[in-house]
Chain A
C-alpha cells in the first residue's frame, strides 16, 4: 500500500522577475512502512517539495499541476482547516534546526503537552505520555527533563526531543527535513539508528530529505535524486547507489569523497552550475553540465523505467 503518492507535481513561485518553476513533473511514492530518501544539492527543490506536501508553500507559491495523494486524498485540494487537522496525526515533521523548532521560553513539558491538544486525556496523563516518549528517544531522567527549557539541552538532545514530539502523534507519515545536518558524526549515526528503530515500533512511513548520501544509503529503502526541481532518478537504494543510470546521480556519487577510499589530491567535481529556475532549458535540465550530452538532450525528457521501480529521466539510460 502507498501512503504518499506524488504524481506530476508542478510548483511555481511568482517573482518580480517572472515565474519561477521550482518543481517540474515530480513523481514519487512512499510505501507503507517504507523509508524514502530525497537527495539533491542546495536549490534542487527538496524543501519546496515538502512544503507543498505540508501545504506550507509561501504566499507567492502555487501548485499548478499534478497531485499529492496522501492515504487516497489529494492534498492539493484540501481546505486549510482539513490540512491543519492532518498535520500532526497524519503527517508530522522534524525540521533541520531543532532550536528553531522549539519555543525557547516554554518548558519542554509544556510544549509536549500543548501539542496533544486534540487528545481527550487529562493533564497528568498527557505529561506521562510526554515522559514516555522522551524515554523512547533516550532522554535521561525523562520526568525531570519535562521541566527544563530547550537551552538546557544539547543540540543532539533537542533534535531527539523534536523527534519525540513528531512521533507522539503516531503519524502515518513522518517527514524529516535534514534532521541530522546540524549534528556531529557520532550523534548523526546515533540519531539515524534511533529514527529507524522508532519507525519500526510506530510503523509509520518516512520521507527523509538529505544532502548526505551516506546517511541516505544507510537509512533508506528507496532513493529519489533531485536536480534543479526535477526528479532525475529514483529506485531502491541499491539500484540508485550501485547502478546509477542518470549521469547526474553518477557524478554526484563520484564527487562524494567518502566513495574514494584511496587518497586523491584532486577531488572530482561537477563543472558548471545549476540552471536559473526562471530560465530553465526546454530539454534535459542537466544537459548544460553533462559530459555525455548529445543533440537529443535538447528535447524534453520523460522518465524511463530500466527495471521495475528504477527510473531515470535520461534518454541515454538503458534498460537492464
Chain B
C-alpha cells in the first residue's frame, strides 16, 4: 500500500492567556503518521487533545509551526490559498456539526454542487445532484430542501455528498457520527465504508467513540495533550492496549450489558492543560501505574508500526504496582 498522506513532526502553536502575559503553547506537539491509499486511519482522544487542530493543520486551514505534511508526494504545508486549492479538491473535509456546516440559505441541490462551482468544474448541476444524492442514499426530492428541513442523519449524508463530489482521494471526517442516534450512526459509517471501497478513498476519522473505530479503522492513533501516546493497527490495540491511557479509554467505554464484570481503570482528575504540561511522561499525573521515573523522564515512542510512549507498557511485565486511584 503506497503512502498517500505523510505527516512528520507536526506542531501547531497558539498564543493564549491574559493580555501582557500571553504565552505560547503547543496544541499539537509533534506527531508523525502515514495514511495509505484506501486506508482508514482513526484519531482518538478526548476533548482538548488536539484532534481537530491536527485535522485542520493537515488540511491547511490552520498554519503549522513546525514539521511537514506531504500529500501524494507533494509538500503542502505552507502553501497559499491558490496553490492549496487543487489539493483541497483531492482532500476534502467533513466538519463536525452536520447541520451547522451547511449554509442555511442554500438548498441541498445547491449545497452538493457548490464544490463544482468553487473549483470551476464543468458539470451539469442537475445530473450531478441526482448522482450524488443517489450515491449517499437520499431521494432526489431532497434537492429542493433547506438544511433546517433535514434530520441530523440526512444532513450528514449531504455533508458526505459534498465531500465526495469531486472524487477526492482522501476524506478527513471530524466526528462523523457525533450527535447521531445509534441506528443512524451505523448508516453513515456503512455509507462511508461503501464509498471507500467503491472509490478507493482513504479516510482520516476523528472521533472519541472507540466502539466505532473498532469497526471501521485499519489503524489508529490515540492522542493526549497534542501527542500520540499509542499508534498501530486498531485490531491489535483493541486486543491489547500498551499505553495506560489507551487502556483507560477502552475500559471507560460502557457496554450495554448489565452483567459484564467491570474492571475499570479510573483516571483521577482531569487532563492537564497544554499550557502547563507536566514534566516527564505527560500522563503520569493521572496514570495509576506511575513510578518515580515517569515524573522526570519523558518516554519515547519506540517500535515500528505499533508504538506506545510509555516506560512501562502494559503486557510487557516489569511494571510498578497500581496506585489506589481516586477521582
The chain A residues found within 8 Å of chain B, CB to CB, are: 41-42, 138, 154-157, 184-190, 192-194, 211-218, 237-238, 241-242, 251-253, 255-260, 263-270, 273
Contact = CB atoms under 8 A, between A and B. Distances in A.
Ranked nearest first, the 8 interchain pairs of A and B with the lowest CB-CB distance are A214-B254, A267-B186, A213-B256, A41-B181, A184-B46, A257-B211, A269-B186, A270-B183
Given A185-B210, A185-B253, A41 B182 contact: yes
A259 B256 contact: yes
A259 B266 CA distance: 22
B264 interface: yes
A160 to B, nearest CB: 10
Counting chain A CB atoms within 10 Å of each CB, the highest count among B46, B47, B184, B258 belongs to B258
Contact of B252 (A186, A213, A265): A186
B72 interface: no
Indicate the member of B187, B255, B256, B270 with the most A CB atoms within 10 Å: B256
A211 B210 CA distance: 17
B47 A155 contact: yes
Given A138-B327, A186-B248, A189-B264, A215 B254 contact: yes
B183 A184 contact: no
Nearest to B45: A184
A275 to B, nearest CB: 13
14 contacts: A41-B181, A157-B270, A186-B249, A186-B267, A211-B181, A212-B254, A214-B255, A217-B255, A238-B258, A253-B256, A257-B211, A257-B215, A263-B214, A265-B216
A242 B255 CA distance: 12
Nearest to B183: A270
Nearest to A214: B254
A260 B182 CA distance: 13
Interface residues of B, number: 39
B256 A241 contact: yes
Interface in B6-48: 46-47
Given A41-B182, A193-B327, A268-B186, A218 B215 contact: no
Given A267-B190, A269-B187, A237 B258 contact: yes
Contacts of A270: 183
Contacts of A267: 185-186, 189-190, 215
B301 interface: no
Contacts of B176: none
Given A187-B46, A242-B259, A265-B216, 14 more contacts: A41-B184, A184-B208, A187-B270, A189-B264, A190-B327, A211-B181, A213-B256, A216-B256, A217-B260, A218-B254, A257-B211, A259-B255, A266-B193, A269-B190
Given A185-B208, A267-B189, A256 B270 contact: no
B322 to A, nearest CB: 16
A242 B267 CA distance: 30
Given A42-B152, A217-B255, A257 B214 contact: yes
B137 to A, nearest CB: 11
Contacts of A154: 270
B182 A256 contact: yes
B87 interface: no
